Structure 1
């Protein structure tokens, strides 16, 4: 898993500049497609459709990496979490706090996402235009997705009889649960048996990340090709839908940041103004760098000076949080999936929401330490598949991920410091109780 994080750092700078090119490709694609729609005639439309088909090839190349990559990363992620938890009582306490906060964030994400989209839905006309441009036979795709609905189907998906068949049929939830159980089983083996298995899956993850990196290098062309089709069929009306999407995902993450403030005030026993003042410098670094790792020095300093954390707590909890804890991952990823569901007109039954929530929690473990463009598809693709949702809209949404990604990082940094304060309070209570007992 450490090598995976090193790969993420190695590719991070290249992918950062790639984000700018992807946004430019999106704007050009929409503009050229809209121009062809207005003045190009039948011949121009035919040429656009040919280029659009090449964009579909690029999308399929991304999709094929999802299952093996998430399986390998989950096995390594579970092993790293188990190793961290075994390093001592303080680490175990931190992992429990992380786990509880992730579950709360997932429940919040579903409730807030469904609520916001109910009050502020996608513009029907713009949504239909974008849907038609993404997949002209979109009605068939929606019908196929709806067939996965039902609580019985959800239960059956938890334990498929044939793992390979489940992967081939996009039965991601069963694959994810199997990978989690397999990862925990590996941690119970002797060192001589565990080491080669861990090395094998680490190597698989590394190889898949390299493949994804290669595919993402073609992202400007792939996004341009897909946006060309959107512009051709939806015109500039697609811009309104994308703006609505950015606002929706950003609002969802602002909500979890505010909820984190409430959690730390209650369980961290700290005043709101004091906590806000303490986390502000680290949030500023996160906002400018979009990197939790780059924000770590500021977090360590503010945890000690502003939050009263001891060197032992801040020195262990914060690096561990950066390594394995991302509270905004299930929030943002589920927001994307809920948006896709409304865009495609897929009704969200309880079984689909549960499947999405469970997969989002697992994906938050697997995606830690990966660059944003890689983790976008790795995290959101399996959740969409687990909920029976099409993936065709994801490349366009990736192109406007720059703004939501800022809130992802700010939210993660805020939650890391909140968890550190909560662990510090728990440690202080335990020491105080021990002193009274003596």
Structure 2
């Protein structure tokens, strides 16, 4: 075993943009690490100086991308065939079982990986004196990106107002009050006459034969997933704020509440760096977290080896049951128009809005960096989860050699949870879409626009980075903006059917935005290093 002096002489000097995050210079700790000559599983996901060569990583990424593209094509064809032959729901669930197991395995590994990854990255950043400057830049750029996405989504909803308003059915609009009709023994319905008398004379339920129910004893249970809750905006704001301070960390892990996990990991990393006064490479707790992080990264990469099979399973099963009979009330063209609207808006954000921000902050070509993220983009289309795509994004960003390891792990861990502009566009567009189709009026007023902006922002922060995560908070966003109206069942089913395709656009946008955020902040950190070095020399 070589001593520290010999090892440091043989290793090339790393530039500030290629600093290490997981390799300790202390020989006692290096004995427990994967040897440098040993490749990670599946040609792999390297970490720090133990990473494989860029050529091997590039070949592995291209091979995985080809397999995933083939799986998407085969899964789409199989799903359409199964839909054509009207496969039953039970068979579709069995087809999706391998894919669902894959997603569960990824979530099981990635959630603790986000925690330890963020703890280690935060401690490394604090040791380098970049904590304050990087944190401020992360918050500013992240908010700018999300605000731009919300504004773009609202603008898209306003532009397409006339398109979707043509499908509105005023009878589908319903308030949150319980409305019912009473059928008499003669087959007719109770009806209130002009003189105030109530008779069994109505042949169908109309305005005069509808009655409101006042549940004075709270004997009925309301389905809040499909109806408004009449909860105030203040209640929803407080609920999101409460998530930032978890009362039980283990419960947050059980519920996959990443916002609470990140809120705990950040101060833990800061405390971990501040509480140890010796050399950084002798901090035993930090080294423990490094080893756990490397272990979880290897586990995640092993799981990713099954990605093509999972993509085929999920896509075939979801397409086989995507359009249910309840959607037959609306033409299929409406689903296609909704998918096209969200897809175009997402692509504009990816190819126009974010590149403009990228050029303004870095003065570099954004598409050169985006080209290196292609494997992660393809993977995100298959799995529909930015959290599951995180290991692949780490691999692509590390292969680019343009982002320091500490910045990459810190920003990507935070960005996976908080930086989801795709969700913001999705929520803003679908709120306008559902309001137009349901016949809700007043969504274009200034007050409603402001409430929509705030509601979409809060729901974007609380959305889980998992498959159908945006759809999971859609009802919450509706209840914030339109608390007096229920979501019609037909509109809800229509949105659920379209979400099979929309969720993939949302995930693609999120993964791209998180990677671009890493690259922009890497350039900012490099400038900070340069300014600090210049000031030191003076």
Unpaired segments of 5 or more residues in structure 1? Answer: 125-139, 265-274, 298-316, 361-378
Question: How much does 1:329 deviate?
Answer: 5.0
Query: CA, structure 1 residues 114+222, in 2 after alignment: closer, same or farther (shift >3 Å)?
Result: farther
Query: CA, structure 1 residues 99+403, in 2 after alignment: closer, same or farther (shift >3 Å)?
Result: closer
Partner of 1:216: 304
Question: How much does 1:75 deviate?
Answer: 0.5
Work out whether residues 249 and 404 of structure 1, in 8 Å CA contact, stay in contact via their aligned partners in 2.
no
Q: Does 1:63 align with 2:111?
A: no
List per-residue Cα deviations over 1:148-193 (Å, max 9, x = no partner): 9712222322222222123323333222111111111111112469
- Rounded to whole Å, the distance in 1 between the matches of 2:254 and 2:156 is 34
Alignment of 1:18-417 (within 5 A): 18-38=64-84, 40-42=85-87, 46-85=90-129, 97=137, 100-116=140-156, 119=159, 142=225, 150-191=236-277, 195-234=283-322, 247-253=344-350, 254-262=352-360, 275=363, 279-280=364-365, 283=366, 285-290=368-373, 329=415, 333-338=419-424, 341=427, 350=454, 353-354=457-458, 356-357=460-461, 380-381=465-466, 384=469, 388=473, 413=519, 416-417=522-523
Query: CA, structure 1 residues 95+352, in 2 after alignment: closer, same or farther (shift >3 Å)?
Result: closer
Partner of 2:440: none
SS in 2 for 1:65: helix
- Rounded to whole Å, the distance in 2 between the matches of 1:385 and 1:36 is 27
Q: 1:6 aligns with which of 47, 53, 74?
A: 47
SS in 2 for 1:64: helix
- Rounded to whole Å, the distance in 1 between the matches of 2:418 and 2:246 is 28
Work out whether residues 71 and 176 of structure 1, in 8 Å CA contact, stay in contact via their aligned partners in 2.
yes
Q: Could you say what the CA RMSD is over the residues aligned between the two structures, in angstroms? A: 5.3
Provide the TM-score with structure 2 as the length reference.
0.51
Unpaired segments of 5 or more residues in structure 2? Answer: 1-20, 24-44, 165-222, 324-331, 374-395, 436-450, 476-495
- Rounded to whole Å, the distance in 2 between the matches of 1:203 and 1:394 is 38
Query: CA, structure 1 residues 179+288, in 2 after alignment: closer, same or farther (shift >3 Å)?
Result: closer
Work out whether residues 426 and 470 of structure 2, in 8 Å CA contact, stay in contact via their aligned partners in 1.
no
Q: How many residues align?
A: 358
- Rounded to whole Å, the distance in 2 between the matches of 1:427 and 1:207 is 35
Query: CA, structure 1 residues 251+85, in 2 after alignment: closer, same or farther (shift >3 Å)?
Result: farther
Work out whether residues 37 and 233 of structure 1, in 8 Å CA contact, stay in contact via their aligned partners in 2.
yes
Work out whether residues 346 and 509 of structure 2, in 8 Å CA contact, stay in contact via their aligned partners in 1.
no
Question: How much does 1:252 deviate?
Answer: 2.0
SS in 1 for 2:465: helix
Work out whether residues 356 and 387 of structure 1, in 8 Å CA contact, stay in contact via their aligned partners in 2.
no
List per-residue Cα deviations over 1:223-279 (Å, max 9, x = no partner): 212211232133798888776655433322331321344567xxxxxxxxxx5xxx3
Query: CA, structure 1 residues 230+350, in 2 after alignment: closer, same or farther (shift >3 Å)?
Result: same
- Rounded to whole Å, the distance in 1 between the matches of 2:227 and 2:313 is 25
Work out whether residues 71 and 312 of structure 2, in 8 Å CA contact, stay in contact via their aligned partners in 1.
yes
More helix by share: 1
Question: How much does 1:212 deviate?
Answer: 2.0
Query: CA, structure 1 residues 320+165, in 2 after alignment: closer, same or farther (shift >3 Å)?
Result: closer
Query: CA, structure 1 residues 318+217, in 2 after alignment: closer, same or farther (shift >3 Å)?
Result: closer
Question: How much does 1:100 deviate?
Answer: 3.8
Which stretch shows the higher mean deviation, 166-175 or 195-204?
166-175
